[in-house]
Amino acid sequence: MFAASIIGILLKQLRLLSDSIGIFEIAGLIVALYFIVTNRERPTKGDLYFGGVFLVILFSFCCGAALSFFFFREHFSVRDLMATFYITVIVLGWLNFTEGSLLDRIELYLSWLSGYCAIIILLGVTAYRIAPGLWYFDVYFGRFMGLSDNPNQLGSLCATGMALVALAAQLRGRVSRLGVARAAAISIAGLLTQSVAFIASTALSALVVGLLYVWQATLPNSIPRRLSAFLIAAVTAAALMALAFFAVQIVDAVIYLYSGGSGKGSVRLQFWIEAFNMALRSPIFGLGPGGHVPVDFTTELQEAHNIFIELLVTGGLVSLLAFVMLLCAIGLPAIRYRFFAVTYALLTLILLGSFHTVLRHAHYWIAIHATLSTLFLIPERSQRPRVSRPS
């Protein structure tokens, strides 16, 4: 039953928004409702904290939708409101799925995700010349999208998968061969999409965590001096190689995103500016779920493609502050107690949301919850070394 809901998340993350509901989405909804109704287990601290924040965000969305219905009718969307409730049920179903530990649930999800990536890579690379319309290599200028609506959605799915791989390693206490194989399948699928969001989120997060690791290795009483010097050299070399490999793509992407002209990036920057202006119409509760950015090339309102701005314009300051508090509750202890895998997962999710529309992606919120719950499940934090500056 849980597998049915996972398949629904993997195959078509936004099918509900494209005016069609598939059998796997219906199955996932039924399964999630079943978990919610039948669960009698006491929720964990991570479940309670995340569930509270998530419901606050949903409440602000509903208030914003009500304001739009009465005062800004052009910004009210029944379809997007229904999609928001659909994703809410799926995420709450994940919270109430209590069979096995969090690690078991993450590994079950990763098994399906890595298997899905391996299958679409194998069939897509070998069969796209025979049936290019099935795998969409040619539709998006040679970018791979598998069975998703577009390459960026598959890239988003792969980025959250990399975050979950790191969390599984943190919970397991080691990196297994199976984990490496899963990471390889997911990362290859992500690279084939040529998604800027995937490349930037995974590569920059690894670089930042590597620098944090080097920094803590230089602190007194942390690591023996010889080992510290070796680690500094190794991490620096790895960071330079990763940066050299991705530097050209990242620099080109940043220039493409933020330089003037009519490129995709300049349009996205205009989205952010227009979305911020729209948020001023209803700063407390926002304008409700849906697109709120007017553009010249279509009559449909567009989304901001940045989770922080989208939360501001959709749910107002209430939802934005709730989300920021959730991120701080994860990030500050993770950095303080040197949980590098948790830090990597959180940075990957933050950077992914900064470049891509993820507000109604169930897998994104599932990864956020898994990151928070992992932090609570790590053995006594008080016994772990803290990062402190030398006096």
Q: What is the pLDDT of residue 138?
A: 53
Is the dihedral angle over the CA atoms 90, 96, 102, 105 positive or is it negative? negative
| Whether residue 148 is found in the same domain as residue 212 | no
In a domain, 181, yes or no: yes
Q: What is the pLDDT of residue 80?
A: 85
Mean pLDDT across 173-190: 88
| Whether residue 145 is found in the same domain as residue 223 | no
**Angle, in degrees to the nearest 10, between helices 23-38 and 78-95:** 50
Nearest to 314 by CA among 352, 279, 270, 355: 279
In a domain, 124, yes or no: yes
Residue 255: both structure tokens together: 């220039």
pLDDT in tens, 218-241: 655 555 555 555 555 666 666 666
**E strand residue ranges, the chain:** none
Question: Which range (39-48, 197-206, 219-228, 301-310) has the least confidence?
Answer: 219-228
In a domain, 311, yes or no: no
Question: Which range (174-183, 245-254, 333-342) has the least confidence?
Answer: 245-254
| Whether residue 139 is found in the same domain as residue 115 | yes
pLDDT in tens, 70-87: 888 888 888 888 888 888
Q: What is the pLDDT of residue 348?
A: 94
Residue 386: both structure tokens together: 């803290």
Average pLDDT over all residues of the chain: 78
pLDDT in tens, 134-175: 555 555 566 787 777 778 888 888 999 999 999 998 888 888
pLDDT at 356 over 70: yes
What is the spatial distance between Cα 119 and Cα 185, in angstroms, rounded to a whole number? Answer: 9
Residue that terminates a domain, selected from 245, 278, 312: 245
Residue 286: both structure tokens together: 């926002």
% residues pLDDT > 90 (the chain): 21
Q: What is the pLDDT of residue 175?
A: 81
pLDDT at 105 over 80: yes
State how far the alpha carbon of 8 is from the alpha carbons of 27, 81, 95, 219, 354, in Å.
7, 19, 17, 47, 25
Q: What is the pLDDT of residue 18?
A: 45
**Angle, in degrees to the nearest 10, between helices 2-11 and 362-377:** 130
389 HSE (CA, 13 A, CB side) = 1
pLDDT category at 278 given cuts 50, 70, 90 is: confident
Domain count, the chain: 2
- Domain span at residue 224 reads 201-245
% residues pLDDT > 70 (the chain): 72
Q: Name the more confident of 270 and 102.
A: 102
In a domain, 26, yes or no: no
In a domain, 153, yes or no: yes
In a domain, 48, yes or no: no
**E strand residue ranges, 174-331:** none
* Backbone dihedral angles phi then psi of residue 302, each to the nearest 5 degrees: -105, 160
In a domain, 118, yes or no: yes
In a domain, 107, yes or no: yes
| Whether residue 112 is found in the same domain as residue 187 | yes
**Angle in degrees, CA 314, 320, 325, rounded to 5:** 155
Q: What is the pLDDT of residue 36?
A: 87
